[in-house]
Amino acid sequence: MNQLQVWAPNARSVELVTSDKQSFAPPVLLAPATITYRGHNISGYWHTPQGINVLQDGDGYWFRIVIENGETRYRIDPYARALRHSASWSIYKDPSRFQWADAGRRPPPRGQMVVYQLFQGAYMGRGDQNWTDRAGNNCHFTWGPTLPRSAGGDPAARTKSPGFR
């Protein structure tokens, strides 16, 4: 079983329990941990101890979290690879048992890939004006009057926006 972790900064204790909210025998108590992210130490994380192997592929589980005021809450694993549904338990998926079917898949060559959705606003004003690849090609996101009709361009239907160029 891979190590599980959850961020619960206001927890007094965190326990891994079964899909029917029962403790394992013996109980699996998560240990408080501090992680390092981009050079900063972040506390409030809890992780399963090394060597714990109570979940098999397909087993359901919850985190039982006792918060500072003594209240008990059951939470799904935000890192879970599967859920029964959003209001129910997490499902453990063993990554070593997954059968990859795309091992021979190669991405299309540059210039032939189609990006179906992109939130361009996330990139505005972040210094992307001068992004270039090794060959010197401009890599910032553009929207201009040269977009062909076959790619959705219709100059009559487009409105001008100072955010796009």
Interval 10-46: pLDDT, tens: 999 999 999 999 999 999 999 999 999 889 999 999 9
Same-domain check for residues 24 and 57 = yes
**Does residue 120 contact residue 126 with C-beta atoms inside 8 Å?**
no
Q: Tell me: pLDDT of 89 over 70.
A: yes
- Tell me the percentage of the chain whose pLDDT exceeds 90: 43
Provide mean pLDDT across the span 85-100: 85
Looking at the fold, whether 150 and 84 belong to one and the same domain comes out as: no
Are 75 and 63 within 8 A, CB to CB?
Answer: yes
Considering the domain architecture, whether residues 71 and 132 belong to the same structural domain is answered as no
Asked if residue 40 belongs to a domain, the reply is yes
Question: What pLDDT is recorded for position 126?
Answer: 53
Domain of 126, in residue numbers: 108-165
89 and 155 together in one domain = no
**Domain shared by 92 and 29, yes or no:** yes
Residues 9 and 88 in one domain: yes
Residue 102 lies in a domain: no
Contact 81, 39 (CB under 8 A): no
Query: Residue 118's pLDDT is what?
Result: 61
Query: Domain check: are 84 and 115 in the same one?
Result: no
Number of domains in the chain: 2
Q: 141 near 123, Cβ under 8 Å?
A: yes
The predicted pLDDT at position 161 comes to 44
CA distance 47 to 16: 10
Decide which of 96, 126, 148 is a domain's last residue. Answer: 96
Q: Who has greater pLDDT, 164 or 46?
A: 46
d(CA 19, CA 157): 53
Total-model pTM: 0.60
Same domain, 81 and 126: no
Sign of the alpha-carbon torsion through 75, 27, 25, 56: positive
* CATH number for the domain that contains residue 58: 2.60.40.10
Q: Which helix (H) or strand (E) holds 17?
A: strand 11-18
